[in-house]
Structure 1
Amino acid sequence: MLQTQESVKDLLKEKAGYILSYLMSGGGQYGEIFYERSRICRIHFENNKVEKVQWGIDEGVGIRLIKDGKTYYGYTTDITFENLVQIAKALSMGNACGPVAVGKRYIRGKTHVEIDIDAQDIAYRTELLKRANERARSYGDKVKQVLVVLMDKTREVLIINNLGETAEDEQKRVVFFTDVVVSDGHTLQRGYESLGGLRGFEIFKEKPPELIADIAVKRALLMLSAKPAPAGSFTVVMSSQAGGTMIHEAVGHGLEADLVQKGLSVYKGRLGEKVASELVSVVDDASLEGYNGSFTVDDEGVPAQRTLLIDKGYLVGYMYDRLSAMKDKVGSTGNGRRQSYAYVPMVRMTNTFILPGKDNPDDILKDTKRGVYVVKMGGGEVNTLTGDFVFEIMEGYLIENGEITYPIRSAMLMGNGPRALQDVDAVGNDLGWSIGTCGKDGQGVPVTDAQPTLRIRSLVLGGYDVG
């Protein structure tokens, strides 16, 4: 077993041609070696103390063959030339040598940071958590539980394929959140706020831990005074602060080419059709600097890029990885992502958002006679085949005569993604981002979602029947 990371990379670069030649010996359209080394630290601060610390390094290699539209995959943490050749031969089911190109493209990327996460100790991280905890607790006895979590990760990947392409990327990410529970003796309410990106710890210079705690606690306390949400159909104004939960879940997954090809998307066969209001344009862009879903190359070595999916209401494209792109005879859009070397890549979103419009957000509110104002979305689920969705409203208000009146609680937003996009009649000139981990087929990858302030003519609000 090789001892250093650089020696592993050197081995792979030196021997990749041999390994890939064995891999392609039984035929096939694409072969790939994927090396990954990840260092992760995750700390939970709860009950006024550090409850859990996870720290570790994971390193391994995955080898993939695509042949006749099917994927053959093997992986190992025992990174020796002999072992990798054995895996390649097992996947190819051959002992001869196949054709392999060399040296056609080389890409190398790196996350540029001011405060390197790998140069800081546990005490540095714990102090950030304590600061958020102390601020949250300072709001008084109504604050019953405070959970603060900090996760940082350095991930280095090397991808070498039979097309002669080599790519390396070093990704450093930080994720931080505060989750609180408050009570007035009768009602329990939860507040949550997060922060993160492809950044170093300098991210806390822009948004200190105390600010994240403030937002979480104030959101929870506000909901204690909220009235039960009414039930029925309402005009809905979604603040840019709501983040992109709806665009990610109700629209984004349906635009992933693998789901389209399997017939599991409401957008199948609709390229060129009008699928949204002419005010709506949707983009996926992994090339944005510093965002949680960003990178230099995806997990198949394809450069990060900006992909226009919906242009002024018309469906103009899907997101592709290499396999789905081969099936449609198009190029990959750089959306091939995997949780780690132990998984095959698949089509995944990166930073997905609705482009800002021309409307002033304040004017959108003033022009809404009666409706619901959504400031923060919670969890939810969507059926990609039909586009139907259900989402929790974590922070919302009733709108009456163009003014925000009182907060509402226990509210669920229900609708249909394509229909909701068709019903957008105002798009703000602002844009708000939210981070997350996107789950699909048992894999999780970091993403960012965003939207401007939007007004949707009608969505169903699930609450209490007050009439």
Structure 2
Amino acid sequence: MLSEVRVTPILSALLSRGGEYGELFCEEVRSLTVLLEDGRIERVASGTDRGVGIRLIHRGKTFYAYTNEVDDRVLLSLAGDLSRYAEGGGVPAVLPASPAAVRGPSVIRVPPSARAIRDKTGLVTLMDRVARGASAEIRQVRAAYAESERSIEVAAHPGVFVSDARTYTVLSVQCVAGDESGLTMGYESGGGTAGWEFLEEFDPETLARKAASRALRTLSARKLEGGRMPVVLSAEAGGTMVHEAIGHGLEADLARQGMSVYRDALGREVASPLVSIVDDATIPGKRGAFGIDDEGTPGERTVLVENGVLKGFLHDRLSAMKEGARSTGNGRRESYRYKPIPRMSNTVLLPGSTPPGEILKSVDSGLLVVKMGGGQVNTVTGDFMFEVAEGYRIENGRRGEPVRGATITGNGPEALRMIDRVGSDLGFGLGTCGKEGQGVPVGDAQPTLRFGPPYITVG
């Protein structure tokens, strides 16, 4: 990729009138998506995308351009255009002779591109058959398989020239069940930074059964009378609440802009002493894992909250420069078309020591949340609202009948302070996180949690 162009002269042209930081980001992505709907394959789409982003940081401002032409002439022209935004003396770019390949935490045993298309259409066809076989009340099934193989190279002044390769695979299935009472939906997915071997962890038949069962259980469920009550959030729910209720608020750009409820909370208690949260790009196989971020900084395990106390924020290079901090390796971008911004990787609320069964037994009456649905979070105030995709009444310390249409609302810092039991288990979720029009692959995780007095509001 960047070996095809003269990197040092291009960066020198970019910095010819000054600037604190200059960067070339080159990317090549091969992707494939298979979609099944209404019992038939609707789409098999594949493609390759390739291009370069050029960035100049001068006096705290970012100037950015991109092109899908990896060509000396084009890149020198763009670098010259961007250099006009700088004022001052030129800086000669200094780089290693060739990129250093960084080995990421995930080991790919079988590249998905090595498998035939029929193997991939077979996965979604199998999920459709299993889900429809669960009950005649399953009205619709949507099953999808996606893979991508992404190679990046980052050349930056001063002294960065690195490369990384990432492989993503994911299966998902959505079922709609219906009877005279209406329609309900169940969804399940599995995947990560893995090759074809991801099927050893995420069996397509199991995913389909879970999605169908969730839709069918909810179909027969009744609404729960709302109010403040104890809530147990199962590890099966993944870390959606952690990601949304606190994770975005700890991205340094939002905090600096005054867009986070945690902006002035460094060193203060923001959660129960039982709560510790990390963002960890080094967990093998998880969807948010990487060797380097999209600025060439090594991925790492960043402690965000320790025993309830806020310890740090997630930084990219720009936010670190502005704050006099160091990058935590969280500068991420959707593609070469975008500038990097602080983003989460795998955000984890760490497990405690209480067996999850004991947590459930400790509640006489309340709500057990097994699967979270969509939601909204105001990062400025910390207020949130989440739908409950799968939930149950807690009756005398046991899982009771399923509930339908429940929501949980509250405030991030207040809810985190309510946590008075932390389970010894840990459940992971996966997704694509959106921010400023960019989507990046992320993971999140949490143990079983109990939210005690004054309790979360259930609607």
Same fold per superposition (TM over 0.5): yes
Which stretches of structure 1, 4 residues or longer, exceed 3 Å deviation after superposition? 94-97, 104-107
Q: Which residue of 2 aligns with 1:92?
A: 83
Structure 2 residue corresponding to 1:20, chosen from 11, 31, 46: 11
1:326-337 counterparts in 2 under 5 A? 326-337=321-332
Deviation (angstroms), 1:118:
1.4
Deviation (angstroms), 1:137:
1.0
Deviation (angstroms), 1:403:
1.6
Structure 1 residue corresponding to 2:434, chosen from 429, 435, 439: 439
Partner of 1:195, secondary structure, is: strand
Q: Which residue of 1 aligns with 2:154?
A: 159
Structure 2 residue corresponding to 1:345, chosen from 340, 344, 347: 340
Structure 2 residue corresponding to 1:418, chosen from 413, 416, 422: 413
Asked if the contact 2:34/2:145 (under 8 Å) is kept, the reply is yes
Q: Which residue of 1 aligns with 2:401?
A: 406
Partner of 1:352, secondary structure, is: strand
Asked if the contact 1:107/1:166 (under 8 Å) is kept, the reply is no
Structure 1 residue corresponding to 2:387, chosen from 365, 384, 392: 392
Report the residue type matching 1:145 in the other structure.
Q
Q: Which residue of 1 aligns with 2:170?
A: 175
Deviation string, structure 1 residues 384-425 (Cα, Å, up to 9, x no partner): 000000000000011122122111001111011110000100
- Measured in 1, the distance between the counterparts of 2:154 and 2:169 equals 24
The answer on 1:132 being equivalent to 2:121 is no
Partner of 2:209, secondary structure, is: helix
Q: Give the alignment's Cα RMSD to 1 decimal.
A: 1.4
Deviation string, structure 1 residues 8-35 (Cα, Å, up to 9, x no partner): 33124xx111011111111111100000
Deviation (angstroms), 1:97:
5.3
- Measured in 2, the distance between the counterparts of 1:102 and 1:38 equals 25
Q: Which residue of 2 aligns with 1:10?
A: 3
Deviation string, structure 1 residues 110-135 (Cα, Å, up to 9, x no partner): 55322211112211110111111110
Asked if the contact 2:107/2:284 (under 8 Å) is kept, the reply is no
Structure 2 residue corresponding to 1:48, chosen from 31, 39, 58: 39
Bigger shift: residues 399-408 or 142-151: 399-408
Aligned CA distance change for structure 1 residues 324 and 98 (closer, same or farther; 3 Å): same
The answer on 1:450 being equivalent to 2:445 is yes
Q: Which residue of 1 aligns with 2:249?
A: 254
Partner of 1:26, secondary structure, is: coil
Partner of 2:23, secondary structure, is: strand
Partner of 1:59, secondary structure, is: strand
Deviation string, structure 1 residues 42-101 (Cα, Å, up to 9, x no partner): 111111110112211000000000010000000001221011011011001179952222
Report the residue type matching 2:374 in the other structure.
G
Partner of 1:101, secondary structure, is: coil
Q: Which residue of 2 aligns with 1:200?
A: 195
Partner of 2:103, secondary structure, is: strand
Report the residue type matching 1:31 in the other structure.
G
- Measured in 1, the distance between the counterparts of 2:224 and 2:365 equals 14
Structure 1 residue corresponding to 2:367, chosen from 355, 359, 372: 372
Deviation (angstroms), 1:224:
1.4
Deviation string, structure 1 residues 415-462 (Cα, Å, up to 9, x no partner): 111100001000000000000000000000000011000001111111
Asked if the contact 2:19/2:91 (under 8 Å) is kept, the reply is no
Structure 2 residue corresponding to 1:142, chosen from 115, 134, 137: 137
Give the TM-score normalised by the residue count of structure 1.
0.95
Gaps of 5+ in 2: none
- Measured in 2, the distance between the counterparts of 1:125 and 1:270 equals 48
Asked if the contact 1:22/1:98 (under 8 Å) is kept, the reply is no
Deviation (angstroms), 1:102:
2.1
- Measured in 1, the distance between the counterparts of 2:109 and 2:159 equals 34
Structure 2 residue corresponding to 1:305, chosen from 273, 279, 300: 300
Q: Which residue of 2 aligns with 1:59?
A: 50
Asked if the contact 1:303/1:334 (under 8 Å) is kept, the reply is yes
Partner of 2:302, secondary structure, is: strand
- Measured in 2, the distance between the counterparts of 1:152 and 1:207 equals 14
Aligned CA distance change for structure 1 residues 235 and 120 (closer, same or farther; 3 Å): same
Q: Which residue of 2 aligns with 1:74?
A: 65
Give the TM-score normalised by the residue count of structure 2.
0.97
Asked if the contact 2:276/2:349 (under 8 Å) is kept, the reply is yes
Size of the aligned set, in residue pairs, is: 453
Partner of 2:236, secondary structure, is: helix
Report the residue type matching 1:226 in the other structure.
A
Partner of 2:352, secondary structure, is: coil
Asked if the contact 1:106/1:165 (under 8 Å) is kept, the reply is no
- Measured in 2, the distance between the counterparts of 1:306 and 1:231 equals 39
Partner of 1:228, secondary structure, is: coil
Gaps of 5+ in 1: 1-7, 463-467
Report the residue type matching 2:92 in the other structure.
P
Asked if the contact 2:36/2:124 (under 8 Å) is kept, the reply is yes
